[in-house]
Copies of this chain bind each other. A is one copy, B any other.
Amino acid sequence: MAVTLEKLSEQLHAQLRGDPQCVVDRAEPLATATAGSVTFLANAKYQSHLSKTQASAVILRADDVDQCPTNALIVSNPELAFSQVLNLLYPAPILSPGIHAGAIIGKQCQIDPTATIEAHCVIEDGVRIGAQTVVGAGSVIGSHSQIGAHCRFYSRVTVYHRVNIGNQVIIHSGAVIGADGFGLAHDGQQWVKIPQVGGVEIGDDVEIGANTTIDRGALQNTVIGQGVKIDNLVQIAHNVKIGDHTAIAGCVGIAGSAEIGRHCMIGGGACINGHIKITDGVILTGTSVVAQSIEEPGVYSSGLAVQKNSVWRRNVLRFYQLDDLAKRLRRLEQQVNQIPSPSQGEG
């Protein structure tokens, strides 16, 4: 879609410096933008590209406007403004509502007439689906689950039975919501399955990435708070609770009954132990391992990044001796402290 900068500046409540009649019809990255495109500068790392950009307009902060060689849209949060521009330039395709002839619908379902159920879906008995919600091709919604309005499930999503999902929830392809938690009792000889009779509760405005899995609770619900954003291939075990507006990057694993606070950021590949509690406002950098509860907000990290294999091998070997090294250091300190100091020696 094409739009004038005048229109854009109105929509974004941005201050326009330049030609209001200039038209842009696409978004491109700062460094490679071409005439006719709009771009943005949010991260100082990319600032060096600003003076050479070929974009027709740049969304940026007032501080950066002097370096801008073209039309500028001045806002306080360029990334946020840019996301609004993208929605404008690339409107989501409008799907014609209705239930595809190839979908299977159970008994006593309540599917809003404005909802879309795509081909090869299976909607089991007693399911409720809200207005404007789209259930992608090949998805399966288990019996008595409830899905709010304005949700977008892409193809091949599985929602097990008795799962409650809020409004404006996006679920990507292959995600599985409500499979059994990994609950086992040992009878002395073998593992016996503990039936998982809880459910899953997902708040409004949640996004769940491709092939992510969120298990149902053992007795009570697994709970994903409002506005939580979850990337791909994340595992959330039974009884976990995730606080509102927490973001979880790809490949994270969260073990059973862990509680994560509100407004946390969990970096990619992090692993969080079960039965622990992480307070609000905690940031975990990528590949963090959390073994115990975190009671203070702040940035936490663990793990070691790569070194050349030859160097790393030597350091690892020393790590395996670390307790011994520390003890030798202690002994040496004691030994040295028994040596008369030079002044004493001289005295």
Contacts and interface: CB of A to CB of B under 8 A. Distances in A.
B122 A140 contact: no
A82 B194 contact: yes
A174 B174 contact: yes
Interface in A75-109: 77, 79-80, 82-83, 86-87, 89-90, 93, 100, 102, 104
A309 interface: yes
A212 to B, nearest CB: 8
A176 interface: yes
A6 interface: no
A323 B322 CA distance: 10
A140 B250 contact: no
A114 interface: no
A179 B158 contact: no
Contacts of A316: 304-305
Nearest to A250: B235
A287 interface: yes
A303 interface: yes
Interface in A286-317: 286-292, 294, 298-317
A338 interface: yes
A288 B306 contact: yes
Nearest to A32: B220
A122 B155 contact: yes
A158 B158 contact: no
A158 B173 contact: yes
Nearest to A316: B304
A290 B305 CA distance: 5
B80 A185 contact: yes
B286 A227 contact: no
A182 to B, nearest CB: 4
Contacts of A32: 220
Contact of A339 (B87, B314, B339): B339
Contact of A289 (B205, B303, B315, B322): B303
Task: Among A104, A311, A315, A329, find the residue whose CB has the most chain B CB atoms closer than 10 A.
Answer: A315
Contacts of A151: none
B250 A237 contact: yes
Interface string A152-191: 0011101010000000001011101001101111111111
A148 interface: no
A293 to B, nearest CB: 11
A150 to B, nearest CB: 13
A318 B312 contact: no
A185 B287 CA distance: 22
A58 to B, nearest CB: 14
A2 interface: no
21 contacts: A28-B219, A102-B102, A104-B120, A160-B173, A173-B179, A174-B213, A179-B232, A182-B232, A210-B215, A232-B235, A237-B268, A249-B255, A273-B286, A284-B306, A294-B306, A301-B312, A302-B312, A304-B304, A311-B320, A321-B326, A339-B339
Given A286-B289, A304-B316, A307-B320, 11 more contacts: A156-B158, A173-B176, A176-B232, A180-B207, A184-B247, A190-B245, A235-B268, A251-B253, A318-B323, A318-B325, A339-B341
